[in-house]
Structure 1
Amino acid sequence: MQGEKTERVPIWIMRQAGRYLPEFHTIRKHHSFFEICRTPELACALTLQPIDRYGSLLDASIIFSDILVIPQALGLEVTMVEGRGPVFPEPLVTPSDMERLTKDVNVDEALGYVYKAITLTRHKLEGRVPLYGFIGAPWTLMAYMIEGGGSKTLSKAKTWLWKHPESTHDLLQRITDVAVTFLVGQVRAGAQMLQVFDSWAGELSPRDFKLFSLPYIQQIAVKVKQQLTEQGLEQVPMTIFAKGAWFALEDLVDIGYEVVSLDWTIDPEYARQVTKGKVVLQGNMDPSVLYGGENAIRETATRMVKGFGGQGHIGNLGHGVLPTVDPEALKVYLETVQNVSSEMNK
């Protein structure tokens, strides 16, 4: 993650701990989703599942949690509904609803269960692989809080941007402040790397991205690094994943992150030209290729690794692994990335 020369491309997978694994369902059928997130022993167990299954094929773990724990800390109820995903029973409808949000969030108290899960997982990993902590980016979290769940258009959230710009910036700043404290706390608890997920970045126009997302994800990188220094904590590499925001690639290089994660709509060779080696690139195979059979997986993964040049690259998918993927298909992908990159770097 520091751009050092490696013998092969390191690799991990977004959502690698999750619904595509049968061992996940063994635990999940006895516990609700957020119950697992709030129970350190269960979150730890799920975090370790892909590491135990794939062994040396994975080079990092990511704590089992959810980006929506920040809205919960801000006082909103979030439930996970089968077949629908996350649901906010009482989303923010007008700016006056922001009065319902907790004003001075005690982040360590509200989200301490994540810290405990991170610390426990670090011990259980016994140094096998490093551990990621993560958050959702302010714009993405704001959109969820207003839409009340997933949305194809984000029309309610976007209406806020134009009708209530002052309240929009107020809300984004409040989320940002909690996010910074939360990330620093994750490092204190034992996270060795951090990723910021701006899952709905690409739903904004280039202008709106620069107004409503970029300043806040930049704040997060700058302030987390400042607070780590002030608190005597070690600096950790930070990754930004702005899904769909291909238009912002040049901007993302210079806002304080060591790694820029890419979705599958960005050509690796183009990304290398734009970023000019200033950051490590992560990604970016379309997760749906994992349904295409072994030949398609190997062919696409090989093309991806070669496109990134075998160095300055962390292997991953262009988004999270999908819930109905065969774990053996993911294994083919992991093996291909390792084999091809090892051959390139001989």
Structure 2
Amino acid sequence: MRQLSRLDDSPFARLWWSIDRPSLAILSLIIVIGFVVLMAAGPSAASRIGGVSEFHFSARQLIFLGPTLFMIMALSFLTPLQARRLGVIVFLAAVITMVTVLLFAGEVNGAKRWFYIGGFSIQPSEFAKPGFVIAAAWMLAEGARDPKFPGGAIAIGLYAVFAVLLLMQPDFGQWALVTAVWAVMFFVAGWSWLWIAGLGVTGLGALTAGYYFSDHVAARVDGFLKPGSNETYQVDRSVETLANGGVFGRGEAASVKGALPDAHTDFIFAVAGEEFGFALAVLIILLFAIFTARVMAVAAGLKSMFAQCAVTGLAALIGFQAIINIGVTLRALPAKGMTLPFISYGGSSLLATGLTVGLIFALTRTHQGVFRRKEIMP
């Protein structure tokens, strides 16, 4: 087997020696754990819909996993300038698609978030998230470089457009996630705490308005405050499922995950706890925490303001999404309908998270050799 040498100038050798290998190792472990847990969660979900193989969801996940891994590798070869261009294009395309879905798609469970291609559902907002981070980071960096350029105002405008589209779907969970990531990016860009506090007040105001003007949001919040209602059925079952696993899991013995309709998607963390125990549940939490912290630590050492803001925002996107998903499973947060990155079943989520990670690796690579400055510093 060929050994990669630091003197090897092939593209793959340069990628291997320039990519952040600790982050890559943690990511690989998360992906492996995710597929194993989905293999455990899939059969009960398949039996509920009937007429399909017990490995129906695992097989469909593999269809998306291959392209996702290829995309991560391919995106890792991009220069920061190419990554910026791609992110902006993805954001614009996703926003246009979100508008199209709102205008022409039918409602699913009271929301307009998906369109369908060849039997697969695609959620454009999933792809808009990493694109938004890149576009906003670019504007914040340009504003810091040239005080006369209204980069901050444009970044706020991008957020406003994205937030309005999410609220119109409605998708308050994704809106809360994007708002939290946006606040982190503003902090990294050096904006005043007053701006961030104002953002928090605005967010609370929007949540309050959502409670009073959206029956969907009100039902979720009321259900969270009053456990045992119909609105908290899945959350209550998820806590029961998680507690059933003990320290090292119970496998199929006395399994209660069958009572959990979304065991393979939003509540897959509960299945991990039941099948493999508290030990694996803690390991999953630690892996996401370490991955996010590692990427943010690497971002802190980058010289480009754009790269710092973008990488920190992309890492926060993964970290906050994991926190929200696990928090809902533990009944620490109202139900949001959000997947656990690389672990939950879902093609859109898997591909979009792959896009996020690929952009992270592209922006954090220690480029070997001499590049033209415009290829490195957007």
TM-score w.r.t. the length of structure 1 is: 0.31
Structure with the larger helix share: 2
| CA radius of gyration, larger in | 2
- The higher-RCO structure (CA 8 Å, 6+ apart) is 2
TM-score w.r.t. the length of structure 2 is: 0.29
